[in-house]
Structure 1
Amino acid sequence: MLYGSIEAGGTKFVCAVGDENFNVVDQTQFPTTTPDETLARTVKYFKKFDHIDAFGIASFGPIDIDKNSDTYGWIIKTPKKGWSNIDFLGKMKESFHVPMFWTTDVNGSAYGEYVSAKRHDENIKSVSYITIGTGIGMGSVINGDFLGVKGTPEFGHIKVKRHRDDLDFKGTCPWHGDCLEGVASGPTFEARNGVKGQDTPISDPTWDIIAYYAAQAVVDLTVTFRPDKVVLGGGVCTPEFIAKVRAQFTLLFNNYLSVGSLEKYITGPEIQHNGSATFGDFVLAQKAIDDEKKNIEVGE
């Protein structure tokens, strides 16, 4: 049994093949260029193997996940130049006639972290994953199912209360200005100060401002979905930054509900080396096989 994982990002594609135990047996990555070039390179990579039994595909978006939609499997209106209205899933199915699970990039990571958490704590029923990088996204898994049916949550576009020292910053979101993504994503460092986040020392006050916004996001998740765990991933979420988010969460939440130890409630990814989505995709590929079998049984 071999599973294919495609972590399709706006900057790069990470493609991997896993075995029946969801371990990586081969992996590659390459830049996201034009749709034709990038998807052709993806197909070529997987064609090297004798067979792939199923795929888990986690893509940047927005994407269409509604199976009753005419554009199911498409990347729809996206700020990534040249990638709007691309039938991603359809192009993969032209080359591989196997089950495929189609979801967002952050959902792939969320599922990987959910399964990983349950392996050592069977009481875990739900995990929410927030990625803070070039953009901001969120995926939630509840009892093995994703939040969202008609579409995936666009959590990066929630409104947040502005930090008192950040009122003059207009935000970077082309649609909403100062939504969560517009004030807390990676590019906002340079937009504020002319210096990229990776070059900004953790002592810089900008980190505290962004942690304040991220903590609001965790508060919103806590009072709406009540997850067992919130994972913070993406390029912005260093251990030092996550510690700042915990501190801001404590102040904002004011111990309103019991969430247990913050070190266990608000964490970085358990799966190392940015492997959450790859692992999640392997498990979702198996889920695609299981779902197809169920559909056949129901049809019979």
Structure 2
Amino acid sequence: MSNDDEILLAAVEGGGTSFVVTIARLLSSSSDIKDSSSIIQIGKSNFQLQQSQTISSESPDDTLSQCATFFQTHLPKKGYYDGVGIATFGPVGLDPTKKETYGRILPSSPKKEWRNVDVVSPILKACGTSTHKLETDVNAPAWAEYVHRNKNSTPISSVAYVTVGTGVGVGLVVNHKPVHGLMHPEGGHIAISPLEDDGFAGYSWGTERSPYGGINTVEGVTSSVALTERLAHMRQQQDKDKTTTTVIANAQERDMLKDLPDTHPIWDHASNALANLCVTLILLLSVEQIVLGGGIMNRTILYDRIRSQTQNILNGYLDVSQVTTENGLKDYISCSCWGEKGGLVGALSLALDAYEEKEEKKKKEKHVAFSKDCDMEKEESYKRDIEMKMTIAKSIIAFSAIGLIYVLRRSH
């Protein structure tokens, strides 16, 4: 429970393997900060994390039911949250004018059980409000990175946020706005130039409705699914007694990637794919910041390899310090300002935007109402002024008439 005057925001980070639901209090000033370990800053705004829970996303019904229960359990006394931010895996319908698809996971999603599932309505119902913002789980942190960097460092107009996990997602802010267009960016499916003699036939997710059949794409090479399946094939070639099917089934336990040494060749393929993506973002969009996150990027040796390979692929074409110097590349291709919490912070930034837009709308409505009241008062004052002048004019005319009659009578 909470005080009615507290500003409480609800955030949902919907990932490929789990949903993270969070409640945070927007602090009015830095003096409210008591325990810095629970504080998250976005731009100049500070949040205190109050409640959080991680929920498996294996079953849509169970996942959304548990999310709803979480928010209802901690519902403020006033009966609603001040803003809700939902950042979900895609593809997802983001256009609110298209009622049939808004807030729903689209039919092209590789997660078959989630296709056409409405992820927004049950969350808003549980939160007691319609005040919300919806984005992809990569556009949301891209927006948070943009806001934070603009208010705390040199202003920029564009950010690319890449998350590398079960899949590969690319979020974009260009010209100060998240990119939507036809749908939203799906940069994980762009084609790459593979390393020489790479015979990997692509990941299993690519067999249905994936661009290029999932062969030689960013996600088809560097996602955890692709990496474990590549590893399975490598091991199957080493152990002829095991069938490919058996090895791949075991490989779906993607924790095995954690045990691989940094020197394993699988990381060369991952860094090359992501460097190809970085080069595409640089040449096509001229983005001013590239942020890499997600579970695979916990393998921190990838950052320097990606930077180096990005420089190699560019081949000296761009003469700017961000891609020609070691320090420039380190700042330009970086991790999130919030580390592994980037996705969560993205959802919080959406909730904050929803709340601030609602408050701004209230102010405008009050201003319009005040202006109307002022206009009505001016109109009434004008009418009274006219009536008074008419009364005076009538009085003058009446007295003048009386005077004229008097003069005429005297003259006769």
Question: Within the alignment, does 1:84 sit opposite 2:109 as a pair?
Answer: no
1:111 aligned residue: 143
Measured against aligned partners, the alpha-carbon deviations of 1:66-92 in whole angstroms (never above 9, x if no partner) come to 122121111122222421101111222
Query: Which consecutive aligned stretches of 4+ in structure 1 deviate over 6 angstroms post-superposition?
Result: none
Greater mean deviation of Cα atoms: 251-260 or 8-17: 251-260
Letter in 2 for 1:265: Y
Report the Cα offset of residue 181 of structure 1.
0.8
Specify every segment of 5 or more residues in structure 1 that has no aligned partner in the other structure, as ranges: none
Q: TM-score, normalised by structure 2?
A: 0.68
CA contact (8 A) 1:127 1:231 kept: yes
2:20 aligned residue: 14
Q: Alpha carbon RMSD of aligned pairs, Å?
A: 2.0
Report the Cα offset of residue 259 of structure 1.
4.9
State the alpha-carbon separation in 2 of the partners of residues 271 and 141 from structure 1: 18
State the alpha-carbon separation in 2 of the partners of residues 33 and 192 from structure 1: 24
State the alpha-carbon separation in 2 of the partners of residues 27 and 143 from structure 1: 33
CA contact (8 A) 1:7 1:278 kept: yes
2:314 aligned residue: 253
Greater mean deviation of Cα atoms: 115-124 or 128-137: 115-124
1:94 aligned residue: 125
Question: Within the alignment, does 1:216 sit opposite 2:216 as a pair?
Answer: no
Question: Within the alignment, does 1:241 sit opposite 2:302 as a pair?
Answer: yes
Measured against aligned partners, the alpha-carbon deviations of 1:128-164 in whole angstroms (never above 9, x if no partner) come to 1111111001001235420123311111111111211
Query: % of aligned pairs identical?
Result: 31
Structure 2 counterpart of 1:27, from 32, 52, 60: 52
CA contact (8 A) 2:179 2:185 kept: yes
1:185 aligned residue: 223
Question: Within the alignment, does 1:269 sit opposite 2:336 as a pair?
Answer: yes
CA contact (8 A) 2:139 2:171 kept: yes
1:281 aligned residue: 347
Letter in 1 for 2:11: S
State the alpha-carbon separation in 1 of the partners of residues 174 and 81 from structure 2: 28
Question: Within the alignment, does 1:4 sit opposite 2:10 as a pair?
Answer: yes
Letter in 1 for 2:21: C
State the alpha-carbon separation in 1 of the partners of residues 23 and 266 from structure 2: 39
1:59 aligned residue: 88
Greater relative CO, 1 or 2 (CA 8 Å, sep 6+): 1
Structure 1 counterpart of 2:104, from 69, 74, 78: 74
State the alpha-carbon separation in 2 of the partners of residues 143 and 220 from structure 1: 18
Q: Which has the larger radius of gyration?
A: 2
Greater mean deviation of Cα atoms: 244-253 or 67-76: 67-76
Q: TM-score, normalised by structure 1?
A: 0.92
CA contact (8 A) 1:55 1:101 kept: yes
Measured against aligned partners, the alpha-carbon deviations of 1:41-70 in whole angstroms (never above 9, x if no partner) come to 111111123141111100112101112212
Higher helix share: 2
Report the Cα offset of residue 170 of structure 1.
0.9
State the alpha-carbon separation in 2 of the partners of residues 209 and 11 from structure 1: 23
Specify every segment of 5 or more residues in structure 2 that has no aligned partner in the other structure, as ranges: 1-6, 27-45, 233-250, 323-327, 369-412
Letter in 1 for 2:221: V
SS at match of 2:121: helix
State the alpha-carbon separation in 2 of the partners of residues 139 and 234 from structure 1: 13
When residues 76 and 285 of structure 1 are mapped into structure 2, their CA distance, relative to the original with a 3 A threshold, is same
When residues 256 and 275 of structure 1 are mapped into structure 2, their CA distance, relative to the original with a 3 A threshold, is same
